[in-house]
Structure 1
Amino acid sequence: MTTAPAGFDPSTIGRWLEDRFGVTDFDVEVMSIGRSNLTFAISVDGLPRWVLRRPPLGHSGGSAHNVSREGRIMAALSDSPVPVPHVIDIVDDPEVLDVPFVFMDHCPGFAINEPSDWARIPAGPGPNDKRACAFGMVDTLAAIHRVDIDDVGLGDLRRNGGLIERQLRRWLGQVEEISMRDIPVIREVHDALAQSMPDPAGSPVGLAHGDFKPNNMIFAPDGGVNAVVDWELTAVGEVLTDLGYFVAMLTVPTDYTSIWVPTPDLGFPEAEELIDRYQDVSGHEVHDVGYYEAFAMWKLACIREGVYTRLVTGKMGDLDLDPEVAGAGVEDLARQALTLLEKS
């Protein structure tokens, strides 16, 4: 095989692949999906066959990068209406890899990372056009939120307190612990969000994906959703946080996200249409969307600061990203959250 990327030990993993599957010749590459946990595609005879997902280099714990937890969530959802990759195994063996990892079948299809990906879906009008694809994303989100967590064995993910309350505390703590830059607006927005938080008792509660956007889904050629990926931020709590995040991603400047999101001029529905669709298919009454958008912007600023720090410290594997580019816009995103909060 070619030279292995950082975070993937071809000798120990190779022995495991041979013992488990009888495979001795394979290639590996870093997948483009994800900028946190490291994801590798393993090909045999030139065709992608498996996916291995592991924590970032230098990871020292915490639920945000707990791939065993992420793998368990996907495995639990395998028989639900939510499309997920097929998890083969969750491995925690230092003789194979120095950190736990999730080993999955490769899911066919493509993520929407750039305009050329979106262009693969028919323009319409028709049953499989771009608008249908977008509404299918919303239907998938509603399916996640309808999951009975006790029925699928995820009831132990419940935590005391509201999801927003917990995440405000967690993300601020993480930024203040690892950040190498002084960005006081992060705390300023945190305080504003904490003061105007909707009453958790009045919000629908369920399984919240935490990072639901087009590049965290794998699409079939007709625009249908083959799988939802990147479950590392999943939690039980106010599900409207997912809807606010999904809508917020439509307005975030592309330069500040490292991803591309379709816009209405390219056939994507307006935010109001997506919200109406969600309310119709989920059965949840939608409220305070502006607040949840603001929360999403602030969380995105925190995530971006974390990515910057890991790039600077060499803990992002072989991803070829400029730390200064990846870390730009953190303050702008936080201030955009303040603007959304004031409007809401």
Structure 2
Amino acid sequence: MTDQRLPAGIEPSVVGWISDRFDAPELGWEVLSVGRSNLTYVVTVDGQRRWVLRRPPLGHAGGSAHDVAREGRIMQALGPTDVPTVTVLDIVNDPAVLDVPFVFQDYCAGFPLNDPDDLARIPEAERRRAGFNLVDALAAIHRVDVDAVGLGDLRRPGSLIERQLRRWLGQFRQISMREIPAIEEVHDLLLARMPDAAHSPTGLCHGDYKPNNLIWADGGDIRAVVDWELSAVGEVLSDLGYLIAMLTAKLDLTSIWVPRPGTDLPSVDELVARYEEASGITAHDIDYYQAFALWKLACIREGVYTRLVKGQMGDLDIDVEAAGAGVEELALQARALLGA
């Protein structure tokens, strides 16, 4: 509900900053996201002007996770490019305004694809085009010259895939309370079968590219790509493999609803062909990148399962046994894609 009360995570000093900066004495607040993700609020003036404010979750202690300032900087850098993105008005890192950094940006009208009702807002006759828009926007991200837009410092030594294999296996070993041999086995297969660097073009990767991290218009156009929290410079085909994995995996294993290729969207083959055409990149080893995405989802799911068992997920309505059962299934699907 939008009213004059301040939601959790917002201090009167933030109201003062917005009022002074934008000549907006009376503000209304609507909370769009809560919990363990970055907090997102719509700020309104007289029910007309609207902005969005994003800050880390409550209790955030710093570090690379939930780095909204980094996310805002990436969106600012992409402003002059072909990537559809939200206009960032300011990135504020001033304890006198708020004890954590926040990003203040224009409001982008539209909707994410969170459920079938959202998809119904796109006419059936436009959904095929919407599917191609999905990969066209991804190709635009991968065409970005990171040095030209000032994001070259996001590069890290070595392979992004290799770093993530090491990171997620380490987290799995640290948190899991049970033996799941398929996780270790698929990790070793992925490490041994990493594609040749010559077939692995690098560039800006979104890191979590799927339909509900886009803002859509009713006609199927994409107005903005959002949630850049996991972005990095690395093997761009990891984004495409992740997208295909999300579009094709069983819905009860992805934890979110995703439209289906060949039913709601063009087929996987058509989407890959369109990506190659739009990006100029040949989609080598796409089964590998899809397998990597499924394996990573398995590791993430095991973390959720362990926290559920330990009672660390609050009152979220998640079936504990169902969450745990999907971990091995995802790993085995990844192994099948690797031909093992």
| Common fold by TM > 0.5 | yes
Q: 1:221 aligns with which of 218, 222, 225?
A: 218
Shift of 1:106: 1.0
Distance 2:28 2:176 in 1: 36
**Residues 121, 221 of structure 1: 8 Å contact kept:** yes
Shift of 1:310: 7.5
Partner letter of residue 104 of structure 1? Q
Shift of 1:257: 2.5
* Corresponding residue of 1:36: 37
Shift of 1:61: 3.8
* Corresponding residue of 1:98: 99
* Corresponding residue of 2:109: 108
* Corresponding residue of 1:335: 332
- SS at 1:237 equivalent: strand
Query: CA 1:235–1:264 in structure 2 vs 1: closer, same or farther (change >3 Å)?
Result: closer
* Corresponding residue of 2:317: 322
Query: CA 1:84–1:306 in structure 2 vs 1: closer, same or farther (change >3 Å)?
Result: farther
Query: CA 1:313–1:14 in structure 2 vs 1: closer, same or farther (change >3 Å)?
Result: farther
Query: CA 1:255–1:13 in structure 2 vs 1: closer, same or farther (change >3 Å)?
Result: farther
* Corresponding residue of 2:50: 49
* Corresponding residue of 1:171: 168
Shift of 1:160: 0.6
Distance 2:168 2:6 in 1: 32
**Residues 33, 41 of structure 2: 8 Å contact kept:** no
* Corresponding residue of 2:289: 292
- 1:236 maps onto 2:233 in alignment: yes
**Residues 33, 39 of structure 1: 8 Å contact kept:** yes
Q: Deviations over 1:241-300 (max 9, x none)?
A: 011011111122222323221114543111111111111221111111111001111222
Structural mapping, 1:20-99, within 5 Å:
20-31=21-32, 36-46=37-47, 49-99=50-100
* Corresponding residue of 1:269: 266
Distance 1:17 1:308 in 2: 41
Q: 2:157 aligns with which of 147, 156, 160?
A: 160
Q: 2:133 aligns with which of 124, 132, 136?
A: 136
- SS at 1:148 equivalent: coil
Query: CA 1:45–1:300 in structure 2 vs 1: closer, same or farther (change >3 Å)?
Result: farther
Distance 2:17 2:179 in 1: 45
Instruction: Report 1 or 2 for greater relative contact order, CA contacts < 8 Å, sequence distance ≥ 6.
Output: 1
Partner letter of residue 165 of structure 1? E
RMSD of equivalent CA atoms: 2.7
Partner letter of residue 139 of structure 1? D
Q: Deviations over 1:93-139 (max 9, x none)?
A: 22332221211111111111111111111212xxxx11111101111
**Residues 35, 307 of structure 1: 8 Å contact kept:** no
Partner letter of residue 113 of structure 1? N
Shift of 1:48: 7.2
Shift of 1:162: 1.0
- 1:197 maps onto 2:198 in alignment: no
- SS at 1:71 equivalent: helix
- SS at 1:332 equivalent: helix
Shift of 1:330: 3.3
Query: CA 1:35–1:84 in structure 2 vs 1: closer, same or farther (change >3 Å)?
Result: farther
Partner letter of residue 337 of structure 2? L
Report how many residues are paired: 333
Shift of 1:180: 6.4
- SS at 2:148 equivalent: coil
TM-score (norm 1): 0.86
Query: CA 1:57–1:34 in structure 2 vs 1: closer, same or farther (change >3 Å)?
Result: closer
TM-score (norm 2): 0.87
Shift of 1:307: 5.6
**Residues 291, 335 of structure 2: 8 Å contact kept:** yes
Of the structure 1 ranges 243-252 and 328-337, higher mean CA displacement relative to structure 2 is found in 328-337
- SS at 1:88 equivalent: strand
Shift of 1:60: 3.5
**Residues 18, 24 of structure 1: 8 Å contact kept:** yes
Distance 1:314 1:47 in 2: 37
Shift of 1:234: 0.9
Distance 2:335 2:129 in 1: 33
Name structure 1 gaps, 5 residues minimum: none
Name structure 2 gaps, 5 residues minimum: none
Query: CA 1:266–1:341 in structure 2 vs 1: closer, same or farther (change >3 Å)?
Result: same
